C-alpha cells in the first residue's frame, strides 16, 4: 500500500473511531473501498475523488439511504463520522477526497450455482425489498433541487466519453430509445429515486435475511426501470448463447419478483408494456460501457459478446421473450 493511501486511512480511522482491517482496497470499484473495525460494528469505508458533482451526488445518495435505513432493515445504513456527518471531505497531499462509511452487511454473496440459495424464494424476497424501497421513496421529502440534478438522463452513459465515434448505426438507435424514454410520464406513482444497480453482487444473504448495499449509482428514474435493470443483470449471468434458457429464467424470475414486489408497492399494468423498452435501453447502455472500457484494446476479451450485443441492437430484437399477459395477471 502506498504512503498516500496510508495517510488517507489514518485520517479515516480518526474520523470514524476505527481501525483498518485490510489496508488493500476491496473489489474493482471506481472508488477505493476498505473494511474497518470500530468499537461498535464493522464498517465499510468508501473513498471517492472529490468533485462538486460527486459531492452533490453523495449528498443525494446518503440522505435518501439514511431515510430508507431508518424505515427498513434490509439496507446497509450509512455510519456517521464522529462529527455526526454522513460524509467527510479530507485533503491528502494536496488532493481532496470524500469519505463515507456504511455498516458492513452480515452474511455473504449468494451462490448462483446453488439452487438452495438461488431460487424463486430469493427472487420474491428481493422483490419485497425493492417494493418497500419504492413505496418509502414515494413519501421521501428530500431536496427537490438535488433530485432534479440527478435524473436518469444525467447518468454516466450520457457523458461525452460514452459517445460513439465510429458507430453511427448504434448511436442512431441510442437516440431513438432515449427519445422514447423522454416521452414517458413521470408521476409520483411511477417515478422517483431508484437503486439503479441491484443485482447478485450488491446484496448479502444471511439465512433468510438479505441486506442490500452499494447505492452509489442511485438516480431518479422510473420504478419499472429499477425492476428491469435487476432482471437484466441477473439474466445476463446466463451465457448469451443460451437464448431459451435466458427466456425461461427471465419469466420465472419476474413472476417471483413481482409477487414479492406487489406486497409493498403497486405497479400499474400498463408499465409492463414498457418492459422491453427498458431492457433495450439497458442493453445499449451495457454495449456502450463495454466498448468504453475495452473497445480500443487490441485484445478485447469481450469482443464476441460485444459483436452479439451489436447485432441484437441493430436488429431491434427483444432482450428476452416474456409472457406479458401472464405477468399483467400478477398485478391484480
**DSSP letters for 58-71:** HHHHHHHHHHHHHH
- Residue 165: predicted pLDDT: 63
Mean pLDDT score across all residues of the chain: 93
**Banded model confidence at residue 261, pLDDT cuts 50, 70, 90:** very high
Q: How confident is the model at residue 86 (pLDDT cuts 50, 70, 90)?
A: very high
**Mean of the pLDDT values across residues 10-38?**
85
Q: Are residues 146 and 272 in the same domain?
A: yes
d(CA 283, CA 26): 27
The 8-class DSSP code of residue 307 comes to H
**Residue 76 and residue 182 share a domain:** no
- Give the residue from 71, 103, 135 where a domain finishes: 103
In sequence order, the 6+-apart residues with CB closer than 8 A to the CB of 136 are: 67, 68, 71, 72
Residue 109 domain flag: no
Rounded CA-CA distance 24/98 in Å is 18
What are phi and psi for residue 169, nearest 5 degrees?
A: -65, -45
CB neighbour list of residue 99: distance below 8 Å, 6 or more residues apart:
11, 12, 15, 16, 45, 46, 47, 81, 87, 88, 89, 90
Residue 304 counted as domain residue:
yes
On whether both 33 and 165 belong to a single domain, the answer is: no
| CATH number of the domain that residue 146 is part of | 3.90.1200.10
Grid coordinates of 317: 430484437
Domain enclosing residue 155, as ranges: 120-329
Which is higher by pLDDT, 194 or 302?
A: 194
Whether residue 66 sits in one domain with residue 135: no
- Grid cell listed for 94: 494536496
Q: What is the pTM of this model?
A: 0.95
**Domain final residue pick, 55, 74, 103:** 103
How many separate helices (H) and strands (E) can be counted in the chain? 10, 9
Answer yes or no: do 73 and 176 share one domain.
Answer: no
Q: What radius of gyration do the chain's Cα atoms show? A: 20
Percent of the residues in the chain that have a pLDDT greater than 70, as a whole number: 95
Residue 23's domain is classified under what CATH number?
3.30.200.20
Distance CA 104, CA 106 (A): 6
**What's the rounded mean pLDDT across residues 251-266?**
98
Q: Is residue 111 included in any domain, yes or no? A: no
The DSSP symbol for 74 reads: S
For the segment 283-289, the average pLDDT, to the nearest whole number, is 94
Residues 198-212 have pLDDT tens digits of 999 999 999 999 999
* Domain count along the chain: 2
Are 170 and 49 found together in one domain? no
The answer to whether residues 193 and 72 belong to one domain is no
Assess if residue 154 is contained within a domain.
yes
Candidate from 138-147, 230-239, 279-288 with smallest mean pLDDT: 138-147
How far is it, in rounded angstroms, from Cα 27 to Cα 36?
15
Q: What is the mean pLDDT of residues 229-256?
A: 97
The pLDDT value given to residue 274: 98
Is 165 inside any structural domain? Answer: yes
> What's the pLDDT score for residue 147?
67
* 133-185 pLDDT, tens digit each: 999 999 997 766 666 779 999 888 888 877 766 788 999 999 999 999 999 99
Statement to judge: residues 189 and 129 lie in one domain:
yes
The whole-number pLDDT of residue 332 equals: 79
Grid cell for residue 137: 421513496
Predicted pLDDT of residue 144? 60
pLDDT tens digits for 13-24?
999 999 988 766
151-165, 237-251, 309-323: least confident range: 151-165
Segments in the chain forming alpha helices (H): 3-15, 52-71, 120-137, 144-149, 168-182, 223-235, 243-261, 275-294, 303-314, 324-329
Between residues 25 and 41, the one the model is more confident about: 41
Instruction: Specify the DSSP class assigned to residue 138.
Output: T
How many whole angstroms separate alpha carbon 327 and alpha carbon 332?
10
Interatomic CA distance for residues 146 and 218, integer angstroms: 12
Q: Which whole number is the average pLDDT over 87-107?
A: 97
Residues 97 and 124 in one domain: no
279 located within any domain: yes
Residues 50 and 159 occupy one common structural domain: no
Handedness of CA 67, 73, 79, 82 (dihedral sign): positive
Q: State whether 173 and 216 are in the same domain.
A: yes
Is the same domain home to 185 and 247? yes
Backbone angles phi, psi at 159, to 5 degrees: -80, 150
**How far apart, in whole angstroms, are the C-alpha atoms of residue 190 and residue 173?**
25
Amino acid at each position: 500500500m502506498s504512503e498516500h493511501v496510508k495517510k488517507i486511512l489514518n485520517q479515516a480511522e480518526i474520523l470514524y473511531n476505527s481501525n483498518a482491517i485490510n489496508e488493500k482496497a476491496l473489489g474493482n470499484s471506481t472508488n477505493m473501498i476498505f473494511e474497518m473495525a470500530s468499537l461498535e460494528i464493522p464498517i465499510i469505508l468508501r473513498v471517492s475523488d472529490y468533485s462538486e458533482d460527486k459531492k452533490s451526488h453523495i449528498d443525494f445518495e446518503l440522505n435518501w439511504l439514511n431515510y430508507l435505513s431508518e424505515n427498513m432493515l434490509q439496507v446497509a445504513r450509512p455510519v456517521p463520522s464522529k462529527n455526526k456527518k454522513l460524509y467527510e471531505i479530507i485533503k491528502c497531499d494536496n488532493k481532496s477526497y470524500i469519505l463515507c462509511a456504511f455498516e458492513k452487511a452480515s452474511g455473504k454473496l449468494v451462490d448462483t450455482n446453488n439452487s438452495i440459495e438461488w431460487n424463486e424464494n430469493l427472487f420474491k424476497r428481493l422483490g419485497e425489498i425493492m417494493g418497500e424501497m419504492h413505496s418509502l421513496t414515494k413519501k421521501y421529502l428530500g431536496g427537490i433541487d438535488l433530485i432534479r440534478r440527478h435524473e436518469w438522463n444525467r447518468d454516466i452513459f450520457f457523458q461525452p466519453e460514452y459517445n460513439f465515434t465510429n458507430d453511427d448505426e448504434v448511436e442512431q438507435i441510442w437516440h431513438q430509445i432515449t427519445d422514447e424514454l423522454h416521452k414517458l410520464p413521470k408521476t409520483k406513482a411511477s417515478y422517483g429515486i431508484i437503486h439503479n444497480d441491484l443485482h447478485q453482487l450488491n446484496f448479502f444473504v444471511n439465512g433468510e435475511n438479505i441486506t442490500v448495499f452499494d447505492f452509489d449509482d442511485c438516480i431518479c428514474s422510473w420504478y419499472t426501470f429499477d425492476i428491469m435493470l435487476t432482471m437484466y443483470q441477473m439474466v445476463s449471468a446466463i451465457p448469451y448463447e443460451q437464448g431459451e434458457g435466458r427466456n425461461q429464467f427471465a419469466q420465472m424470475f419476474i413472476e417471483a419478483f413481482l409477487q414479492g414486489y406487489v406486497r409493498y408497492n403497486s405497479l400499474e399494468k400498463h408499465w409492463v408494456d414498457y418492459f422491453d423498452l427498458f431492457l433495450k435501453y439497458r442493453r445499449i447502455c451495457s454495449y456502450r460501457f463495454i466498448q468504453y472500457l475495452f473497445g480500443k484494446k487490441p485484445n478485447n476479451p469481450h469482443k464476441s459478446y460485444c459483436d452479439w450485443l451489436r447485432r441484437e441492437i441493430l436488429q431491434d430484437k427483444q432482450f428476452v421473450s416474456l409472457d406479458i399477459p401472464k405477468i399483467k395477471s400478477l398485478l391484480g
